[in-house]
Amino acid sequence: MRLSFFSGFLIAVLAAGPSTSASAPHSGVPLGQSTDLSARIVDGKADVNGVAYHYLLAAGGPKTVVLLHGWGTTSYMWRFVMPQLVARGYTVLAPDLRGLGDTAKPAAGYEKAAIAEDIRALVNQLNLGPVVNLVGHDMGGMVAYSYAAQHPGEVTTLAIVDVPLPGIEPWNELIQGPRTWHFRFHSVRDVPEMLIAGRELEYLKWFHNAEGVNTRAFDTEADEVYGRSYAQPGALRAGFEYYRAFPRDEEQNKAFAKHKLTMPVLGISGSGGLASMYEGHLRHVAENVRAVVVEGSGHWVPEEQPAAVTRALIEFLPPAY
């Protein structure tokens, strides 16, 4: 496996040390001391359930943390959080989800429970399991919940970042509100692809700004990475299939929620995102819930305020050794 541009960027970020400038695009980014990760964070490809999955992996101690991104981003979104977990001795896996980033883009299979089986198969193929700690943002949070609900004995901890779970109260209320207009738009067959194709960069820049508070987190480099990713053939369709699968996700989650999760669950929300309502939402599906509301952040919490997310995860995760 080769060292990625992404990994090299992480090394440079860590070497720069914590930022104290008032004009810095992040709050306290990143935490910790400089660490040489040049031989540790690597790219990989693996065939999983017939889909070529791209992933980033850093092998560390015996505890594995799986980081799952959402729509509008790729595994690149963990560029500030991932190295801090690696520096503390965790083995960290950050895949591009089915259809997104540099993972292949099949026509079907975008129900979150099905994607959870992809991730579980990837974990086992890489000999990182069977027991893991899951962290998911946005669609990745939905996938992480499905993984934990289907295989509770294989999940030590679950952290979900600023996303409502389909079918779980107050889902019906949330999806009718103005903040979730894109749920309805992205669910329409063919139309969003027709309108956005060729304008992926512009659409994502607008979308990141609209859903963010600390929008300086999305610099030119981030914009270009995401713009390139979503301009790939099939990427828009694949991304919107995540939304088109919501009806099936609702059915599956309602069935899962009949048996509440018993492992520790952490809900992280932005003050400009789901905020304080998030803890109550997650209590519908889990018995042991704690919540953190991150100030100065909208929906993109790991990118807008990565230091706060890193602190919350380090306090929540079991020790690396």
The catalytic residue positions are 138, 243, 299
> In sequence order, what DSSP letters do the residues of 248-262 get, joined into one string?
HHHHHHHHHTTS-B-
Which tokens sit at 183?
A: 């749920």
From 13, 129, 118, select the one nearest 68 (Cα to Cα): 118
The CA distance from 232 to 51, in Å, is 16
Q: CA quadruple 141, 29, 317, 126: dihedral positive or negative?
A: positive
Preceding amide of 178 cis, omega within 30: no
The CA distance from 130 to 172, in Å, is 35
Q: What angle do CA 49, 165, 75 make, to 5 degrees?
A: 50
Q: According to DSSP H, which parts of the chain are helical?
A: 5-16, 81-87, 112-125, 139-150, 171-174, 181-187, 191-196, 200-211, 220-230, 235-244, 246-256, 277-282, 301-304, 306-316
* Residue 34 CB neighbour total at 10 angstroms: 14
Give, for 270, the enclosing helix (H) or strand (E): strand 265-270
How far is the CA of 157 from the CAs of 31, 144, 176, 315, in angstroms?
22, 10, 31, 12
DSSP state, residue 37: -
The CA distance from 221 to 233, in Å, is 21
DSSP state, residue 286: B
